[in-house]
Structure 1
Amino acid sequence: MNKIKLLENLSNLHGAPGHEYEVTAFIKNNMKNFNCEGDSINNLYIKNNKENNYPIVALDSHSDEVGFMVEGIKANGTITFLPLGGWHITNIPAHSVIIKNFKNEYIKGVVSSKPPHFMTVEEKQRLPKIEELVIDIGTSSYEETTELYGIEVGNPITPDVVFSYDQKIDVVRGKAFDNRLGCAIVMEILKELNYNELRVNPIGVISSQEEVGLRGAQVAANKIKPDFAIIFEGSPADDTFKDNFSSKGALGKGIQLRVLDAGMVSNPKVQTFVKNIAKKNNIPFQVIARSGGSTNGAKYHIADKSIPTVVIGIPTRYIHTHYTYASVRDYKDAIILGKKLLEELTEEIIKNF
């Protein structure tokens, strides 16, 4: 399976926070030459079969995507819902979604709100509230929605989007690049490494529930107790609303190194180490400091004895919406950089961080 096809398969899967089983099952099935084990929060740990006493390096990416959950069913058959992850209300109405019932059946619906014809002047001048939105699956009664389609409170909901690749510009479009991009990168790195030449022990961590509080990463950091952590993340691109000088997350201009966000101040020694390896291997990179947002790095860097951590982002346009864009070049460069970091890391280098 080539790298683009792998990303396509991952992007098209459905895995709202707490309901990532489809994603972890796919990854486990495609990593059969590795020792894969899960836990009760649905993290997946991917280990090579060569035992050693080298320092453990976590290669972390989260499997969940922003989505929703069924909150209730109205008498007219429409469905009320709650957000799972950081949505902005303007990105929700008039979009197609997929509800997965507990029989593992998929039901398509549309997020609807009151048509403008029936709105008051006041309603037209303000943003809708999420409790005013419903999902319409075409039914007209509570009984049709629950009995014919088996929809219940607690069913997960995800965007209804199909992956595509534009070969002319080497750009992919799909849903959940935050963070199926990271999942694909971790899988490719683990498959391509020459473990006989490493002086560290990489463990892939496909973590759950990142979008609702970095929960899987907290469990993973305590479970495997890594000596170093590399977080791969689909990070917000800013090149469609900033100029060339202020943009630090442009598609096709390199992977993104995050020095600051709301959850972590990055260790400057780690940053220097990563930058030097990127330069040595002609891998372009962008550096960003953000006042908001965070990644699983926020949990790793304060876990246990304090874990040196780097966040490698792949600039992704319009994350936390239905449709996202990413550069294939950035995606492939992140794989190369991850491998080069593992080839360079040693116990002595890690201790000096």
Structure 2
Amino acid sequence: MTETVDLIRDLTNVYGTSGFEQDVVKTFAKETEGLGKLEVDGMFNAILRRKENDGKRPVVQLDAHSDSVGLLTQAIRPNGLIKFVTLGGWVPANLTAMKVVVRNRAGEYIPGVVATKPPHFMTAEERKGVPAVADMSVDVGSSSREETLNDFQIDTGCPIFPDVQFQYNAEKGLMFGKDFDDRLGAAAMTAVMQQLAGEQLNVDVAAGLSAQEEVGLRGAYVTARKIEPDISIVLEGCPADDTFEPDWLSQTKMGGGPMLRDYDTTFVANPAFENYAAAAADEAGIPYTRAVRTGGGQDGAAIGYWKGVPTIVIGIPTRYEHSAYNWAKLSDVENAIKLTLALLRRLDKDTIASFSQF
């Protein structure tokens, strides 16, 4: 348990929005050193192939994405404030007054805040609404455009990250922090590769840590082409619905175990593989839910679009995704790891072939 918490802490505390995933890749590389051959490309996709692979067995692609939602400097205003655009699907109300860090041209992390007008200066109408993203700014304490550019060394293209440190309540098994979408999936995938070390399977396994999921599943299109899988398991931090849906409709509950996603707006799971995973969970006594979502998307769509391989998504329930502040249960991560291991230890050539029969 302690090792898993430490792994999650290390992966969630590093900064890594879309296009700027280098520190996440560094952490992944450190945690998986010696487990196989690691390849990193110019998008910062990382692919780890187990050293036990022999190239003669069906290939399973594990996937998790390294990026999280963030911001990107668009321009510096005359008063020194930073005009930004969003990377990924933010709700504007979740941005105001958020603590951030800006990575400047020198690679230093400069603290800042998404600036808001004090209520003393707001009109009655302004108090009721939320400013548009185009009207928001990040304030690093500068008083002029020249100071921001020259002293703080911040200019167009500098990434901006939520600044939240991981916390763990051991008594409750509760985790609080940022970027649980999808660092929890990345942690689960890392732990799976660690626990499989030295074990012989009936499949070859390649773990793809895909970049730029939040801006169009871009990295997964690349990793799928490089790995050329026969089947795929996507590990994803997925939005919990237990704080606003009635119990009968809640399909992603924090503490309810991993979610097997049947459908979202980009993806339909292979039904045979989905049912196989559910049966494996039942046999192993692993709690889980199944979900049909009316929104969202994830890397399984990109992997499936490329080659049509049977694909499932194992989701880890996360409260308040696409905001800076997330809650999750350690037990859900651990059960996602257990389910993934159970599947990898059961899969073989004939079983995988059966998922494509009609």
Q: Deviations over 1:246-305 (max 9, x none)?
A: 21111111110100100111111011100010001000001110011011001111212x
Alpha-carbon separation, structure 1, partners of 2:52 and 2:10? 28
> Which residue is 2:120 aligned to?
117
TM-score, reference length from structure 2: 0.96
Which residue of the other structure, out of 338, 341, 344, is the alignment partner of 2:340?
338
The number of residues matched between the two structures is 352
> Which residue is 1:30 aligned to?
31
Question: How far apart are residue 142 of structure 1 and its match?
Answer: 1.3
CA contact (8 A) 1:113 1:132 kept: no
> Which residue is 2:5 aligned to?
4
> Which residue is 1:20 aligned to?
21
Which residue of the other structure, out of 264, 268, 272, is the alignment partner of 2:267?
264
CA contact (8 A) 1:159 1:175 kept: yes
Question: How far apart are residue 145 of structure 1 and its match?
Answer: 1.2
Question: How far apart are residue 12 of structure 1 and its match?
Answer: 0.4
Alpha-carbon separation, structure 2, partners of 1:284 and 1:152? 48
- Equivalences for residues 294-309 of structure 1 within 5 A: 294-304=297-307, 306-309=308-311
CA contact (8 A) 2:70 2:161 kept: yes
CA contact (8 A) 1:77 1:139 kept: yes
Residue type of the alignment partner of 2:12: S
Identity %: 39
Alpha-carbon separation, structure 2, partners of 1:58 and 1:244? 34
> Which residue is 1:313 aligned to?
315
CA contact (8 A) 1:62 1:183 kept: yes
Residue type of the alignment partner of 1:6: L
Question: How far apart are residue 26 of structure 1 and its match?
Answer: 1.5
> Which residue is 1:87 aligned to?
90
- Equivalences for residues 33-112 of structure 1 within 5 A: 33=34, 34-52=36-54, 53-112=56-115
Which residue of the other structure, out of 210, 214, 219, is the alignment partner of 1:216?
219
- Equivalences for residues 190-339 of structure 1 within 5 A: 190-193=193-196, 195-304=198-307, 306-339=308-341
Question: How far apart are residue 113 of structure 1 and its match?
Answer: 2.5
- Structure-2 change in CA distance of 1:238 and 1:204 (3 Å): same
Q: Once structures 1 and 2 are overlaid, which stretch shifts more, 96-105 or 313-322?
A: 96-105
Moved over 4 A (4+): none
Alpha-carbon separation, structure 2, partners of 1:22 and 1:194? 24
Q: Once structures 1 and 2 are overlaid, which stretch shifts more, 254-263 or 194-203?
A: 194-203
> Which residue is 2:172 aligned to?
169
Alignment pair present for 1:181 and 2:178? no
Q: Deviations over 1:298-347 (max 9, x none)?
A: 1111212x110010000000010011011100100111111110000001
Question: How far apart are residue 116 of structure 1 and its match?
Answer: 2.6
Question: How far apart are residue 195 of structure 1 and its match?
Answer: 4.8
Question: How far apart are residue 245 of structure 1 and its match?
Answer: 1.9
Residue type of the alignment partner of 1:8: R
CA contact (8 A) 1:228 1:309 kept: yes
Question: How far apart are residue 120 of structure 1 and its match?
Answer: 3.0
Alpha-carbon separation, structure 2, partners of 1:37 and 1:286? 34
Question: How far apart are residue 50 of structure 1 and its match?
Answer: 2.6
CA contact (8 A) 2:52 2:200 kept: no
Alpha-carbon separation, structure 1, partners of 2:7 and 2:267? 30
- Structure-2 change in CA distance of 1:194 and 1:104 (3 Å): closer
CA contact (8 A) 2:7 2:187 kept: yes
Alpha-carbon separation, structure 1, partners of 2:224 and 2:18? 18
Segments of 5+ residues of structure 2 without an aligned counterpart are none
Q: Deviations over 1:132-190 (max 9, x none)?
A: 11111111111221111111110111101000001121010000000000111111101
Residue type of the alignment partner of 1:346: D
TM-score, reference length from structure 1: 0.97
Alpha-carbon separation, structure 1, partners of 2:190 and 2:295? 29
Alpha-carbon separation, structure 1, partners of 2:324 and 2:199? 42
Alpha-carbon separation, structure 2, partners of 1:268 and 1:94? 44
Alpha-carbon separation, structure 1, partners of 2:28 and 2:209? 9
> Which residue is 2:352 aligned to?
350
Residue type of the alignment partner of 1:9: D
CA contact (8 A) 1:77 1:140 kept: yes
RMSD: 1.2
Alpha-carbon separation, structure 2, partners of 1:312 and 1:150? 41
